Amino acid sequence: MSVTLRQMRYFSALATEKHFGRAAEAVHVSQPALSAQIAGMEHSLGVRLVERSRSGALLTRKGEEVLERVRAILEQVEQLAASTRGSASMLDGAVRIGIIPTVAPYLVPKLVPCLRERHPGMELELREAVTDRLILDLQEGKLDAVVAALPIQAEGLENVSLFFDRFYMAVANNDHTVLMSPMTETQVDADRLLLLEEGHCLRDQALSVCGTARKRSLVNFGATSMATLLQMVSHDMGMTLIPEMAIPTETARNDIRILPFADPAPSREIGLIWRRSSGRRSEMKLLAEAVASCAPGRS
């Protein structure tokens, strides 16, 4: 009996999730079905790949060795599939794109109809998650591309810049604090700076822009989304950094005032990232052009 591609994909998912239930959800099968495939793979190879326990699953030393080869094989299979696509069918079929949470709500409403018009044969699949999760999914072949803030420090990836997104400061309209406009870093009251929770790149960018905040404990101010953060601001609970692309949407639904920064104004660079080994550079360039043209304020 030989090892199948299905078994290898299930094994790769289990190695990522370290839990049979979560791995089964990731590959859209039942847990018993995934367990049976892993057991069949172990039987075919004649080695134990996984240590099973009630709390989860850990790879054995042999399992770690096998994982490296399995992922190389899965990557080669994907390259084979990509190489068979003719130039006339670029961006036809399923294209799986991950987008970070501080971009997705403002980009997706324009992106979906734009891509449907430009590439009617595309079957677009979107996923919103923090950068680290998206990059891991990209490296494991679960996504074809990621829209996130650059730079990305990861091996085997390529990227192209889409656009620069300037930062502003959002405060409540009834905030009585006197803030000069355009404002500078020294005007930011670190005790009132609201941040997204750990894992969001915008949190790190805010700390970089407002350098004095690094010395303060801001854990209690962590929010899970830009929308939540700006609701807190509108109720005069503090101030926060807001990207330019979010301003039209968020000022329409929140009672906030937007203050620009003095030049050189801080900004983030949004890019499209994909695997170098996927063999889809031409397709990704086309996708990047479409995404850049669909971005708020760019079309």
Cα separation, 10 vs 35, in Å, equals: 9
* Average pLDDT across the chain, whole number: 83
Q: Which domains does the chain have, with CATH numbers?
A: 5-83 (1.10.10.10), 89-163+268-294 (3.40.190.10), 164-266 (3.40.190.10)
Residues 6+ apart with CB under 8 A from 137: 98, 127, 129, 143
Give DSSP secondary structure letters for 223-240: BSSHHHHHHHHHTTS-BE
3-class DSSP assignment, residue 137: helix
E-strand ranges in the chain read 50-53, 56-59, 93-99, 122-128, 145-150, 157-172, 240-243, 256-260, 267-275
DSSP 193: B
Confidence band for 219, pLDDT divided at 50, 70 and 90:
very low
- Tell me which of 106 and 239 has the higher pLDDT: 106
Is pLDDT at 85 greater than 60 in this prediction? Answer: no
pLDDT at 7: 93
Residues 6+ apart with CB under 8 A from 8: 41, 70, 73, 74
Is pLDDT at 88 greater than 60 in this prediction? Answer: no
Structure tokens at 264: 């050189």
- Pick the range with the lowest mean pLDDT from 77-91, 113-127, 227-241: 77-91
Structure tokens at 1: 């009996």
Q: Would you tell me how many other CB atoms lie within 10 Å of the CB of residue 285?
A: 15
Q: 96, 89 in Cβ contact below 8 A?
A: no
Cα separation, 24 vs 38, in Å, equals: 11
- Pick the range with the lowest mean pLDDT from 21-25, 217-221, 246-250: 217-221
pTM flag (> 0.75): no
Q: How far is CA 229 from CA 124, 239, 256, in A?
A: 29, 9, 11
Structure tokens at 96: 């799986």
- Tell me which of 209 and 268 has the higher pLDDT: 268
Confidence band for 240, pLDDT divided at 50, 70 and 90:
confident
pLDDT at 175: 67
- Tell me which of 96 and 54 has the higher pLDDT: 96
Is pLDDT at 218 greater than 50 in this prediction? Answer: no
Cα separation, 47 vs 42, in Å, equals: 5
Cα separation, 278 vs 128, in Å, equals: 22
- Pick the range with the lowest mean pLDDT from 6-10, 110-114, 224-228, 286-290: 224-228
